[in-house]
Amino acid sequence: MHYEDFRREYLSDGLSMESLNECPIAQFEMWLAQAVEGGLRDPTAMALATIDTQGWPWQRIVLLKDVSTKGFVFYTNYASAKGQAMAHEPRVSLHFPWNELERQVIIAGTVEKMSVIESTRYFLSRPRESQIAAWASRQSRPVSARAMLLKEVISMKKKFGNGEIPLPDFWGGYRVIPQRIEFWQGGEHRLHDRFLYSLQPSGDWEISQLQP
């Protein structure tokens, strides 16, 4: 196969400064709604990039669970590789690859842990099997065989029986507080439209257009 032959033209209507909302969160919510309405398979899937204790960047897909002017929310195991990386370096990046719409959104910001109340509220809304999985998995740690993990799942089911499953003390939410947000719209002949929102000391957002 000749991978250099894989290319196509981007034929969207483009993106202009005049069409942008002055608030990047409002602009993001509009694009996310269009991704949902467009039938994208996983519109809330985002790549989370972190830097570990040895300075290595690493990415994985997580799911967006809430967005507001406060930031972008996701949940995970605090002891996971990403949890340890964020404890070491709170500066992270998020990436939404909405390829079907010829769009992507890139976010740079810092993470903070959400409150126990917020994390508990979300945890109790999850399917019971997902709650069990959170307790059973020592996320990112080696396991000799999948059978060992399934054994732990069975053990946790017996432990909690039919009662309410509590929030694990090693599991909860993170909020990414954005400092920069880029909106990318594919353009014909690779002349893509790129607009960067940068948070100013005043709390206002400055918008600049970037060359493709």
Catalytic positions: 190
CA angle at 24 for the pair 106 and 205, rounded to the nearest 5°: 105
State the Cα–Cα distance between residues 90 and 71, nearest whole angstrom: 14
Tokens of 126: 């999850």
> Alpha helix (H) ranges present in the chain?
24-37, 81-88, 116-125, 128-136, 146-160
| DSSP summary character for residue 83 | H
Report yes or no: 63 and 163 within 8 Å, Cβ to Cβ: no
Report how far residue 59's alpha carbon sits from residue 178's, in angstroms, rounded to the nearest whole number. Answer: 18
Here the tokens at position 206 are: 């400055």
As a whole number of angstroms, the distance between CA 105 and CA 136 comes to: 34
Q: What secondary structure letter does DSSP report for 67?
A: E
- Is the alpha carbon torsion for 110, 113, 118, 123 positive or negative? positive
| CA R_g for the chain | 20
Return the half-sphere exposure (C-beta side, CA atoms, 13 A cut-off) of residue 130.
10
